[in-house]
Amino acid sequence: MLPFSQNSHYKLSFLVLLLWVSHLVDSKSGFELDESLTYLWPLPTEFTSGNQTLTVDPTLSFSALGKGGNSKILIEGFERYKKIIFKHVSGISLFDKSRGIRSVYDISELRFIVNSDSEELQLGVDESYTLFVAKKDGKSIVGEATIECNKCTAFLRVNTLWRCTSLLANTVYGALRGLETFSQLCAFDYETKLVQIYKAPWYIKDKPRFAFRGLMLDTSRHYLPIDVIKQIIESMSYAKLNVLHWHIIDEESFPLEVPSYPKLWNGAYTKWERYTIEDASEIVSFAKMRGIHIMAEVDVPGHAESWGAGYPDLWPSSTCREPLDVSKDFTFDLISGILSDMRKIFPFELFHLGGDEVHTDCWTSTPHIKQWLNDQNMTAKDAYQYFILKAQEIAISENWTPVNWEETFNSFPSKLNPRTIVHNWLGPGVCPKAVAKGFRCIFSNQGAWYLDHLDVPWNEVYSAEPLEGINNVSEQNLVLGGEVCMWGETADTSDVQQTIWPRAAAAAERLWSKREAVSARNITLTILPRLHYFRCLLNRRGVQAAPVTNKYARQPPIVAGSCYEQ
């Protein structure tokens, strides 16, 4: 606190701040939710609601029909969400002040209909679901909610049970997305001490707008422990993000174990800041249980100085250490070994090969590489192309689809393998050019979706549109989606979640919900209150999401106040 003995400018500033704080404190009890808004995030594709309030039994039971009903993914998902929903209540009937012990609840069973028993998790897996929540009538024995995972359009009431007219089988991953929505409908009432669902009955028919909805996580600039990565994956599922792009290694450190070349992780910061192959497999399994892909990245030929800590022959010279030495077969043998080992861990069909920010001065200034370039009749740019295409061949031989940062497309689009997925980052306008040439594209415009840019406000994240400038429907279909990028120079365990959330949620709704629904004219009135609410939901679930509207992302609160107004 500034003393009043300082100059008048500081006195005035202090008084203004004091009045502002006093106003906030005086108005702290006046916050109300806007009942005209739907507080589900991301916003479902189609939904209707009513005006009833239903109670949910804390001993909520689970039943499933169809081939997918016995899925471990589904069963564990239900138990996981049950702990979230009933965090504040016990598993016994609660005391009702007006009627004594309560024994009848409106919702006592959550019923799943999952016709497919496939648990294959690949790009474009069907994540659609239909959720119906209604109060039991007088003829019904129990109340129930149904998550129907096979694109039904009608429910028939037969023998007091909800049954579905099936049209097309769906997956357990759609059921997980429906579970998340159901959990957001459930709210604990602190006065009655009951879990309630407001605005029932609900009918929700939902599916994602884009197949690829990602978050990139950088574990090279700062090592992140396994438990932290799991926490981030868990939080991704709350916003229905479905791809963790794991930027495991970079020039600063090489923390991953590679059995074929065990000295590579000599490039880790310390012997304690490493990932074993078992660690990586555990992360992949943990993510799959939540319907989340892991897309690994090995960035070549630049951003690779750390590789030489174990294998110095990869450096052009001891004083000029990247890009990787393009002239040696050993370089590509080692890349082949890395990808072969990683293929045993990462089943996702996409693999990121980087290819960005390749500065070729070391190639042209190192005598043996300069001689090799002359012998091959190559310029440094030719060698860059040669390296990228050779790395792509290795990835494709491992049955991977290569993803490359946009510099590769900007430099030699006609030479790239036609299977290449172009990953935009430098700015807008790249995806329109890429899809026009038949390439698929991932949108990550750094001006809006780089989370380490702390001065980008939530509304700019929300307004960024992956299909901007693409009007042809067939070309729009080549945009897989997008991802927000959490580069790690200034983010570690202490602040990574605060930096990711809630701005990542803004992109998540853009990628899931219909374009018309997320392009309202005044998003301050229609979207911001909902984002405040979702941020508080993340906080309640233990996610360290920062205030929504502070000038800089991850900045802590500057005054006292409600979570819903920060």
Closest CA to 244 of 84, 340, 355, 352: 352
| Strand pairing class (52-65; 194-200) | antiparallel
Measured distance CA(190)–CA(129) in Å, rounded: 31
564 neighbors 532 (Cβ within 8 angstroms): yes
Distances, alpha carbon 465 to alpha carbons 204, 284, 510, 512, in Å: 25, 29, 7, 12
For 353-416, the three-class secondary structure string (H helix, E strand, C coil) is: CCCCCCCCHHHHHCHHHHHHHHHCCCCHHHHHHHHHHHHHHHHHHCCCEEEEEHHHHHHCCCCC
CB-count exposure of residue 269 (10 Å: 0-12, 13-18, 19+): middle
> Are 431 and 449 within 8 A, CB to CB?
no
Q: Which residue in the list 46, 76, 120, 357 is annotated as catalytic?
A: 357
* Separate counts of helices (H) and strands (E) for the chain: 18, 20
- Phi, psi angle pair for 433, to nearest 5°: -70, -40
Closest CA to 451 of 418, 423, 475, 487: 487
Q: Which two tokens stand for residue 175?
A: 């059921």
Which neighbouring-strand residues pair with 107? 56
Rg of the chain over Cα atoms, rounded to whole angstroms, equals 26
Answer left, alpha or beta for residue 307, where phi above 0 means left and psi between -120 and 50 means alpha: alpha
Integer Cα distance of 365 and 204 in angstroms: 62
Residue 298: both structure tokens together: 């090995």
Question: Are the C-beta atoms of 104 and 135 separated by less than 8 Å?
Answer: no
CA distance 452 to 491: 8
Residues 31 and 41: their CA atoms lie apart, in Å, by 20
Residue 8 CB burial class (10 angstroms; 0-12, 13-18, ≥19)? exposed
297 is known as an active-site residue: no
With CA atoms as reference, report the closest residue to 351 among 309, 393, 290. Answer: 393
Q: Give the residue numbers marked as catalytic.
A: 357
